């Protein structure tokens, strides 16, 4: 039973990470109806930024600043830079294609993803970069409930993920920007005619979504320790599914989907085999999508005839 709960905790932590990536993906899909394949690669860039921040401040064993400050710098820098990168990508690659056939921005997104991934390969090499989190945040600082242990990094990631999700929910439901985002998501042209600055709203959405991916990247570095130029693709793929399983375009749906996939993956790895975890997750998702195409919390799109 302890094993079960341990896997559950691990699954929820990974799930929170997937949920953050899925949120950004879902938001972008909401406003542009675009499957942003480059989203997973933004996550990868975030993870690299975290790594270089650690190295900049002396490396994991000889930090020159206190750990909390380091974490704040990592997260803020990753959020800011990756957010900026997302906005630049939108401006450069997607905005010229707003009115092009649907396949064009999709192909562009694949191109951007390929470009980012290989740029990282060029700049940072193929080797895995290691965070060495245990060197500056001890595993022993954490909570133990019975034989289930939740270490400090997991707690932090969970709390941060939760905070960001609540914050995003409030942003979308309560603020002026959130209202504009929802309006653009429903009907871009109508929103434009009502005086909403559509370009700004879309850019803001990209910034927020990408920043979340950047934060998730740093979290991944802290949790899994390893960074490589190829980590983005698979996580991106799972984030797509998370948002689709939850109902694409729906924020609570993306959270739910992320958690479900994290937990499913954790249990498959724990109880069956890590070799088959990706394969089984994909199979599971295909089944979910066939049974409920609009996702768990998604709304069925009405088609006017």
Partner 1 sequence: MSLDSQPSAAGPQVGADEWVARQGRRREYLPGRLGTAQRQFERIGFWPRLAVVGLVGAVLPSLGLGGFQLQVGIDTLVIMLLALGLNIVVGWAGVLDLGYVAFFGFGAYGYALLSSAQIGSHGIHLPAELSVPIVMVAAAALGLLVGLPSRRLIGDYLAIVTLFFGEAFVEFTNNVAPGDFGGANGIVGLDTLHGFGVSITSNAGYYYLLVIVAVVVISVLRLLDTSRTGRAWRAVREDPLAAASMTIPVNRVKLMAFAFGAVVAALVGTIYAAQQISVFPTDFDTPILILIYAALVLGGVGSIAGAATGALVVMIIYDGLLRNATYSGYIFYGLIVLTLLIKLRPWRRLAAVLAATVALGFAAHAIARAISASAVAGAPQSTGWLGDALRDWVIVPASPQALGDWGYVVLVCLLIALVQVKHPWRTVLLVPALYLASVVWETALAAQPAVTRQIMLGAILIVTMVARPQGLLGTRRVETPI
Smallest distance from partner 1 to CB 93, Å: 5
Provide, rounded to whole angstroms, the least separation between the CB of residue 149 and partner 1: 30
- Contact segment (CB under 8 A) with partner 1 among 89-97, 135-143, 154-162, 164-172 equals 89-97
Q: Of 118, 138, 141, 175, which lies in the binding site for partner 1, with binding defined by CB under 8 A? A: 118
Site membership for partner 1, residue 227 (CB under 8 A)? no
* Cα distances (angstroms) measured from residue 253 to each of 210, 215, 240: 18, 20, 12
Work out whether 271 is an interface residue with partner 1 (CB under 8 A): no
CA distance 141 to 151: 6
Minimal distance, residue 94 CB to partner 1, in Å:
9
Could you give the string, one character per residue 125-164, with x where binding to partner 1 holds by CB under 8 A and - elsewhere?
A: ----------------------------------------
Question: Is position 293 an interface residue for partner 1 (rule: CB under 8 A)?
Answer: yes
Based on CB atoms, which residue is closest to partner 1, 108 or 154? 108
Alpha carbon distance 51, 59 (integer Å): 9
Q: Give the binding range for partner 1 (CB under 8 A) out of 119-127, 170-178, 199-207, 209-217.
A: 119-127
Structure tokens at 230: 């190829």
Strands 226-227 and 129-130: antiparallel
Distance CA 243, CA 255 (A): 8
- The residue range among 133-141, 194-202, 209-217, 237-245 that interacts with partner 1, by the rule CB under 8 A, is 237-245
Q: Helical H runs in the chain? A: 2-32, 39-56, 67-89, 103-124, 152-174, 176-186, 188-193, 198-224, 231-246, 251-267, 277-291
Contact 54, 127 (CB under 8 A): no
Q: Cβ closer to partner 1: 119 or 147?
A: 119
| Complex with partner 1: residue 175 or 274, whichever CB lies closer | 274
Size of the site for partner 1 (CB under 8 A): 50
Residues 6+ positions from 165 with CB-CB distance below 8 Å? 19, 20, 23, 251, 255
Q: Which of 168, 182, 230 is nearest to 23 (CA)?
A: 168
Instruction: Name, in order, each residue with C-beta under 8 angstroms of 13's C-beta and a sequence gap of 6 or more.
Output: 154, 157, 158, 223, 262
CB of 63 to partner 1, least distance (A): 24
- Residues of this chain that interact with partner 1 (CB under 8 A) are 29, 33, 35, 88, 91-93, 96-97, 100-108, 110-119, 121-123, 233, 237, 240-241, 244, 248, 275-276, 278-279, 282-283, 285-286, 289-290, 293, 303, 305
């Amino acid at each position: 039973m302890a094993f079960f709960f341990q896997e559950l905790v691990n699954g929820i932590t990974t799930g929170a990470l997937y949920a953050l990536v899925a949120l950004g993906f879902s938001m972008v899909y909401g406003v542009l109806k675009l499957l942003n394949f480059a989203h997973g690669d933004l996550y990868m860039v975030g993870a690299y930024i975290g790594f270089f921040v650690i190295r900049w401040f002396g490396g994991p064993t000889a930090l020159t600043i206190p750990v909390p400050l380091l974490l704040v710098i990592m997260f803020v820098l990753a959020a800011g830079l990756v957010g900026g990168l997302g906005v630049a990508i939108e401006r450069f690659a997607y905005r010229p294609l707003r009115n092009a056939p649907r396949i064009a921005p999709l192909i562009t997104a694949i191109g951007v993803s390929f470009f980012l991934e290989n740029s990282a390969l060029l700049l940072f090499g193929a080797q895995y970069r290691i965070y060495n989190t245990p060197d500056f945040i001890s595993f022993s600082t954490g909570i133990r409930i019975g034989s289930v242990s939740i270490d400090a990094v997991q707690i932090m990631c969970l709390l941060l993920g939760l905070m960001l999700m609540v914050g995003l929910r409030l942003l979308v439901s309560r603020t002026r920007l959130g209202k504009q985002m929802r309006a653009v998501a429903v009907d871009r042209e109508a929103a434009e005619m009502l005086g909403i600055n559509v370009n700004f709203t879309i850019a803001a959405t990209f910034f927020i979504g990408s920043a979340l991916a950047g934060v998730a990247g740093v979290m991944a570095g802290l949790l899994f320790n390893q960074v490589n130029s190829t980590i983005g693709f698979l996580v991106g793929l799972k984030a797509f599914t998370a948002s689709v399983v939850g109902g694409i375009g729906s924020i609570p749906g993306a959270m739910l989907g992320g958690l479900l996939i994290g937990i499913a993956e954790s249990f498959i790895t724990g109880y069956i085999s890590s070799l088959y975890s990706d394969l089984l997750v994909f199979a599971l998702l295909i089944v979910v999508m066939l049974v409920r195409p609009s996702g768990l919390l998604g709304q069925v799109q009405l088609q006017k005839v």
